[in-house]
A and B are shown apart, each in its own frame.
Chain A
Amino acid sequence: MKAFAYHFSFEFFSGLRNKTLLLMIYLLPLGFHAMMGLIMASINPFFLETMVPAMVVFALLSGMILGLPQPLVEAREAGIFRSYKINGVPAVSIIVIPAISAFIHAFFVSVIITVTGPLLFNAPQPENWPVYLMIFVLLACAVSGLGVLIGVVFIKLPGNRVLVSAHLPPVHDA
């Protein structure tokens, strides 16, 4: 448990220094939230009714579907997982810890979106907060699972290209 906590804290705090992660999880969703609140609310009157959950969903998708796979692929290609295996780190930790870290980052962004949506753009607040939180957690788990799965399945070819291999051995360009 101590090793899990140490691994998680390292992953979380190193993520704060990762520019790609900060872009995908913080800058992109919050910038999009501001832009959509200013533009879409006047174009599409239906948008405002579900603006807060829509932007929360966007934040989760950009953080987990776009942000999770690449670090996993790069870490495997760099041989980091080999070192983990030698030192007894379980595979579950390698899969779950990035997802939990991304979840916490996405939670912070979602709180900002949920608070600023009604304040800045007069979007309606959720009526049932416990259910709202439950659906947020369910979606975060679902999309983080997909993000991790994509990161596990894909391999990286020489020349910075990524390919999924259905059968082994993996195909390399000539």
Chain B
Amino acid sequence: MFWSQLIYLPSMMLSGMMVPTEILPEVMMRVARLLPATYAMDAFKGMAMGGNAGYDPVWAAVILFAGCILSFGMALYLFSWDSQNPTRRIRLLALLALIPYVLGAVLLPLGERIDLLNAVTGCL
């Protein structure tokens, strides 16, 4: 589905799975913060793998937890038993599930940017 791919594909490129988020432009680092995978990678790096997330990684865990609660809550609220007679609720309310990620994108500080080319050539 289109909306599934809209979350999945940017997560692959921007969340830090393939390349560090620190090499992205500042705008793209903010956009990456709209994705749950970014917070997961930051939390893994900062709390489980002994790295540095650029901010207190506990906030990443808090955002993921809040996102979970809101997502399931909105799914329950907007659930309909039958597509022929769906519940009369505005389905755009589903976007409320993204509030924790939006707040994270706006409020959390960005990490220090690195130049990947220099970093890689320095390693070689």
- Check A138 for interface membership: any CB of B closer than 8 A: yes
Other-chain residue from B64, B71, B91, B120 in contact with A138 (beta carbon distance below 8 A): B64
Contacts A95-B76, A138-B65 hold; do A154 and B3 have CB atoms under 8 A apart?
yes
Q: Which one, A54, A81, A165, contacts B16 given CB within 8 A?
A: A54
Interface size on A, residues (CB 8 A): 69
The size class of the interface chain B forms with chain A is: 35 or more
- A69 touches B (CB below 8 Å): yes
A6 at the interface (CB under 8 A from B): no
Q: Mark A117-160, 1 if CB is under 8 A from B, else 0.
A: 00000001011110110110011011111111111111110000
Residue of A nearest to B68 (CB): A141
What's the Cα separation between A135 and B60 when bound, in Å?
Answer: 9
B residues near A124, Cβ cutoff 8 Å: 49
Q: Is the interface of A mostly helix, strand, loop or mixed?
A: helix
B71–A135 CB distance below 8 A: no
| A residues lining the B interface (CB < 8 Å) | 36, 40, 44-47, 49-50, 53-58, 60-62, 65-66, 69-70, 73, 76-77, 79, 81-82, 84-85, 91-92, 94-96, 99, 124, 126-129, 131-132, 134-135, 138-139, 141-156, 162, 164-168, 170
Judged by a CB distance under 8 angstroms, whether B79 is at the interface is: yes
**Of residues B3, B69, B79, B82, which shows the largest number of chain A Cβ atoms within 10 Å of its Cβ?**
B79
Residue pair A40, B83 in contact (C-beta under 8 Å): no
List the A side residues contacting B68 at CB < 8 Å. Answer: 138, 141-142, 144-145
The answer to whether B97 and A146 have CB atoms under 8 Å apart is: yes
A88 to chain B, nearest CB (A): 12
B32 beta carbon closer than 8 Å to chain A:
no
Whether the pair B49, A53 counts as a contact (CB closer than 8 A) is: yes
Is B83 touching A145 in the complex (CB atoms < 8 A)? Answer: no
